[in-house]
Amino acid sequence: MFYIIVFIFGSIWGSFSNVCIHRIPDNISVISDRSYCPSCKKLIKWYDNIPLLSFIILKAKCRGCSAKIKTKYFIIELISALSFVLIFHVYGISLTTLLLFILSICFIIIFFIDLKHFIIPNEITYPLMIIGFLKSFDPNLNLHLFPNFINSLIGGIFGFTIIWLIIFIYKKLRNKDGMGLGDAKLLSAIGFWFGWVSIPFIIFFSSAIALLSVVPDLIKKKKQLSSQIPFGPYLIIGNLVFLFLINPIKIFIN
């Protein structure tokens, strides 16, 4: 029963994530305006806006104009619901679970916005930094997963500084921007959440995954080494790999 409730709760927040992903890049309020069909502009009734179910019942079409509803909306709601269930399964009813719920939603929003628009919104990264640092003052949190406030502070500064240095050096050598400060802010937020120890591993994992994903396009000459790619999604994937391997990593560094 708890798993079903968590799944529904996650799908609802996945629906809210869709609103943020669609509106934040265009500076549209995510709370003041009701959802509407982008094709016919008609407001969507509440019974046509039920996460996951409405997509299936409507057969991925708008009730008013029959315009196709993007599968991306369903996928994001499903990813959110499943991530909530996985987090709850591992950490149960706890403050750690609540914090990871918040982090997962923020990661989903950042992932899909950066993937399409090549931007990482400050509206998400700044609150992540604040929450990541403030939580480190709670001595009752999962210390195996989260750092104390000193390591958190060092992690936030280290995460921002290392990306800023890459940007600065690349700018000096090539006279053009190689990365954006949004990536620096995201890695800073990750550093606040998981401490300075996580940063080298996350940079390695994200860089390796980014390179592997780009190699096929480089071979086919669809992209060049100078081609722009959104690095935020790779930082998030790198962070997830770090969390998945956190036990062997902790053993290795100790």
Q: What is the DSSP string of 204-222?
A: HHHHHHHHHHHHHHHHTTS
pLDDT value of position 203: 96
Give the mean model confidence (pLDDT) for residues 68-73.
Answer: 91
Contact yes or no for 149/136 (Cβ under 8 A): yes
3-class DSSP assignment, residue 189: helix
From residue 13, how far is each of 83, 90, 95, 114, 177 by CA, in Å? 11, 19, 18, 19, 35
Answer with the residue of higher pLDDT: 124 or 39: 124
Q: Global pTM? A: 0.92
* Range scoring the smallest mean pLDDT among 6-15, 46-55, 108-117, 216-225: 216-225
Confidence tier at 46 by pLDDT (50, 70, 90): confident
The rounded percent of the chain whose pLDDT value lies above 90 is: 64
pLDDT at residue 224, rounded to an integer: 65
Q: Report the pLDDT averaged over residues 82-98.
A: 95
Q: For the chain, what are the domain ranges?
A: 1-93, 123-254
pLDDT for the residue numbered 87: 97
pLDDT (mean) for 233-249 = 93
Rounded to whole angstroms, the Cα distance separating 152 from 196 reads 7
Mean pLDDT of 9-14: 96
Tokens 């990365």: give the residue: 179
- pLDDT of residue 44 exceeding 90, the answer is no
Average pLDDT over residues 146-159: 96
Say if residue 45's pLDDT is above 90: no
Average confidence (pLDDT) over 60-73: 87
Query: What whole-number percentage of the chain has pLDDT above 70?
Result: 96
pLDDT in tens, 177-234: 767 899 999 999 999 999 999 999 999 999 999 989 888 877 776 666 556 789 999 9
Confidence of residue 67 (pLDDT cuts 50, 70, 90): confident
C-alpha count within 13 angstroms, C-beta hemisphere, residue 250: 12
pLDDT at 249: 83
pLDDT at 69: 87
